Amino acid sequence: MVKIVLPDNTERSFSNPISVLSIAKDISPSLSKSIIAAFVNDEIKDTSYIISQDCSLKLITDKEPIALDIIRHSAAHLLAHAVKCLFPTAQVTIGPVIENGFYYDFSYERPFTPDDLREIEKKMSHLVDMNIEISRKELSRDSAVDYFLSIGEKYKAEIISSIPADQTISLYTQGDFTDLCRGPHVPSTSKLRYFKLTKISGAYWRGDSNNEMLQRIYGTAWFTKNDLDAYLNMLQEAEKRDHRKIGKQLDLFHIQEEAPGMIFWHPNGWTLWQIIEQYIRSMYKKYGYLEVRTPQLLDRVLWEKSGHWEKFQDDIFSLESDKRQYAIKPMNCPCHVQIYKQGITSYRDLPIRLAEFGSCHRNEASGALHGLMRVRGFTQDDGHIFCTEEQIQVEVMNFIDMLFEVYGKFDLLNQGVAVKLSTRPVKRIGTDDVWDKAENSLAEALNTKGLEWSILPGEGAFYGPKIEFEVKDCIGRKWTTGSIQLDFSMPNRLGAEYINVDGEKKTAVMLHRAICGSLERFIGILIEHHMGIFPLWLAPIQVAVLNISEKQSEYANGVFARLNKDGIRVLIDISNEKIGYKIRQTTLKKIPYLLIIGDKETENNLVTVRLRDGKDLGSMSIDDFIRNYL
RNA sequence: GCCGGCGUAGCUCAGCAGGUAGAGCAGCUGACUUGUAAUCAGAAGGUCGAGGGUUCAAUUCCUUUCGCCGGCACCA
């Protein structure tokens, strides 16, 4: 007798061991069609799993998010199966589920081509049509290793070899293809109808650039054709928000061959920059920072002292002049320490918060460059807080407040800001005791602020743990914008000290912090987030004055002058074009307000106001327009 | 840096199984004087990313190199 308890607490009994699928059939035939897997005593199992003992059972149908992961994981196997059919000498490695899809890494004698991708996709569909059953079997670790070696899959064998010997290994087989996998999987390939292979790329074996490069194929999979189409369509739409595209359309900036990874800011883009910089500056004031400015070029000796030369010399631009070696500064921290060190600091002076819009250059790997998001010349909204150990937590909390106030102002909070705590890496300085304290104070600050956060183990800098704030771009790539880092190393190396209550010299604690990260990246994020439709306060041009015909040019010029005098960012178009043409041009530039001026307006001293979304606000005096809308 | 793709007019793109290039928009000139997302016409615009090679002939094929795009690795 097997007794099953369902989620609604009803019970069912069966006289013999029974598969999950059979139970689903017993409950309802239609259910058995949509079932993907099941939780048996809260453990996830295949539909073929045989229940032989009393247990709780929750069926997973294709309505549930977790089932999507199963579909995608099975789709990865389907991909590997198809590749093995078409390219028998390809070796399989790993094929995990990722956000919105899956990938599979293969070792093959040549890179896959876009044509291959189409062939593979076709083969996959073929395997789906064949409705191949997917079955599970378990082996001891060593026999699993032997099995994969026997079929020439050395990568698989290597993966399994690193699993403890006493663990049972599960294998999944579909037709003549067998893969190592924890499972669960869909019962048959026919459940995998709605997939698409999206891209190919290289990827290092085990994520290590010292290893050989494998061929990675990415795909996505969904329950229905509608879901798949919607996703692909969403991606297409998202690409229209690409900051590089909008940057061109709105004439914000450009990059050219002679200065890879460095930005030429055009008048519109630079206006946007200035607005942001001024706003951040006002926040420095509010949160007790002192703004400074430090040199671009510093003797290499300083970077050797700080420890950066040793670690990052390949990425530091340097030059020689008058037999001295200089580095173009890759970061501002050592400079801020130099300012801190002028004179003697008392504990009473702490905390000292120095901030700089610090221009930095790093020779980033060519493949890392990405529009405004990853550049070689950038400006950090950099700040360093020198304080005592006791002050760390309060300072971190104040920073978090400041960051969220800023992100709120830029309307970035509704899309979610991911908060990550990066903890001690393997290679590090400082005792475990100090790391314990440091990590705890960061974690406590996050908890006190009631934030949801996750840990990135081992991702901290060698000199201290950090909190990072991540936002996504238009197609879901994650970028770090803000961060705050504890540093046990630099104050010591560069001699940032203060005199404590007892008149003794102590090394100050240093917090590195940035809210935007780099202004370039932050603006890139803003462009994509707002799709170029900036709120009025950020819009490079706020108002466009358009006349209908030449007769009204003079009045239009007056309106322009009036707004311009008030500090409003205004543009005038009195060109010899139809009003429809002018409206189109200014609307494409996402200018918030269009003022239409014809005879009616000129005679009555009015302007007619149109919003960039097409809405007509009617006619009003210039004063009313300024008072009510700007 | 690594794997793959791409580089043609200011922009968006077409073309080329090898015979030195074409459209739309923008810009220019002219006409039109316009009421809420593209007025009409004309002329002009390119060492086909750069270097080298094969060839009678290269934008097209090969090769080197630079840059961009998608990933990987990196990110003080």
Q: What confidence tens digit (pLDDT) does each residue in A511-524 have?
A: 999 999 999 999 99
What's the pLDDT at A62? Answer: 86
Give the residue, A475 or A1, on which the prediction is more confident.
Answer: A475
What's the pLDDT at A375? Answer: 98
> What is the spatial distance, in angstroms and rounded to an integer, between the CA atom of A243 and the C1' atom of B38?
25
For the segment A320-330, the average pLDDT, to the nearest whole number, is 96
Say whether A466 is catalytic.
yes
> What is the spatial distance, in angstroms and rounded to an integer, between the CA atom of A610 and the C1' atom of B31?
30
pLDDT in tens, A411-426: 999 888 999 999 998 8
Say whether A382 is catalytic.
yes
Say whether A362 is catalytic.
yes
Say whether A81 is catalytic.
no
Nucleotide nearest to A466 (CA to C1'): B76
The answer, yes or no, to whether residue A33 has pLDDT greater than 90, is no
Local confidence band at A430 (pLDDT 50, 70, 90 cut-offs): confident
In SS3 terms, A77-103 reads as HHHHHHHHHHCCCCEECCCCEECCEEE
* Average pLDDT for chain A: 95
Which of A11-15, A73-77, A212-216, A288-292 shows the lowest mean pLDDT across its residues?
Answer: A11-15
What's the pLDDT at A521? Answer: 98
CA distance readout (Å), A436 to A396, A439, A459, A561, A589: 16, 5, 15, 62, 52
Handedness of CA A536, A541, A542, A546 (dihedral sign): negative
The answer, yes or no, to whether residue A102 has pLDDT greater than 90, is yes
DSSP string covering A16-33, please?
Answer: S-EEHHHHHHHH-HHHHH
pLDDT in tens, A167-177: 999 999 999 99
A594: helix, strand or coil: strand
> What is the spatial distance, in angstroms and rounded to an integer, between the CA atom of A110 and the C1' atom of B63?
20
- Which ipTM value was assigned to this complex? 0.95
pLDDT in tens, A453-512: 999 999 998 889 999 999 999 999 999 999 999 998 899 999 999 999 999 999 999 999
Q: A204: which residues sit within 8 A by CB, 6+ positions away? A: A210, A211, A212, A213, A214
What domains appear along chain A, each with residue ranges and CATH number? 2-61 (3.10.20.30), 66-234 (3.30.980.10), 253-530 (3.30.930.10), 543-629 (3.40.50.800)
Neighbours of A126 (CB within 10 A): 12
pLDDT in tens, A228-256: 999 999 999 999 999 999 999 999 999 99
For the segment A151-155, the average pLDDT, to the nearest whole number, is 95
DSSP string covering A606-621, please?
Answer: -EEEEETTS-EEEEE-
pLDDT in tens, A371-394: 999 999 999 999 999 999 999 999
What's the pLDDT at A31? Answer: 87
What's the pLDDT at A63? Answer: 85
Nucleotide nearest to A613 (CA to C1'): B37
The answer, yes or no, to whether residue A59 has pLDDT greater than 90, is yes
Residue of A156, A185, A512, A513 marked catalytic:
A512
Strand B: which positions are within 7 A of a protein CB? Answer: 1-5, 7, 11-12, 31-39, 66-76
Say whether A516 is catalytic.
no
Beta bridge partners of A43: A40
Local confidence band at A32 (pLDDT 50, 70, 90 cut-offs): confident
> What is the spatial distance, in angstroms and rounded to an integer, between the CA atom of A612 and the C1' atom of B40?
28
DSSP string covering A260-314, please?
Answer: TT--EE-HHHHHHHHHHHHHHHHHHHHTT-EE----SEEEHHHHHHHTHHHHHGG
Q: A508: which residues sit within 8 A by CB, 6+ positions away? A: A340, A345, A350, A386, A387, A388, A491, A496, A497, A498
What's the pLDDT at A392? Answer: 94
pLDDT in tens, A332-371: 999 999 999 999 999 999 999 999 999 999 999 999 999 9
